[in-house]
């Protein structure tokens, strides 16, 4: 199944093909506990598999920010969708390119050299914000 991986630890962004299993998520994200929040990115809805404890760790790189620059998620991220029954659904090539367009090299106080970070990550769509 095709996912987009935002790997802030190794500073790369790539489409990957993996089985949608917990073991694979833990391996790719390099974590022990995952969460799968739904977020709007550039007005489009995506599910993001992420390290549930990332923002609690001292040395975590912020991996997603909202339109005001606020930290939304930390650590490596996997992007996908879920169907009405909760099954994981992979991404289309167009969706991968759309997401890549929202990822920019940014720096933080702790990581001044810069690394790929998702921007425009929101809890609600633009229509719901106003």
Domain boundaries, the chain: 2-129
If one compares 127 and 97, the residue with the highest pLDDT of the two is 97
Residue 126: what pLDDT?
Answer: 60
pTM score of the predicted model:
0.92
Go through the chain and tell me how many residues it has. 130
pLDDT digits (tens, 9 = 90+) for 63-98: 999 999 999 999 999 999 999 998 999 999 999 999
Residue 47: what pLDDT?
Answer: 97
Residue 104, token pair as written in the block: 């920019």
What mean pLDDT value characterizes the chain? Answer: 93
């Amino acid at each position: 199944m095709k996912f987009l991986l935002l790997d802030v630890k190794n500073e790369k962004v790539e489409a990957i093909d993996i089985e949608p299993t917990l073991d694979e998520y833990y391996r790719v994200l390099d974590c022990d506990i995952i969460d799968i929040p739904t977020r709007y990115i550039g007005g489009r809805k995506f599910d993001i598999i992420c390290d549930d404890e990332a923002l609690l760790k001292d040395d975590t790189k912020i991996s997603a920010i909202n339109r005001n620059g606020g930290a939304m998620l930390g650590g490596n991220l996997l992007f996908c969708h879920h169907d009405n029954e909760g099954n994981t659904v992979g991404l289309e090539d167009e969706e991968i390119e759309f997401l890549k367009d929202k990822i920019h090299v940014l720096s933080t106080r702790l990581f001044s050299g810069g690394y790929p970070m998702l921007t425009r990550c929101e809890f609600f769509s633009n229509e719901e914000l106003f």
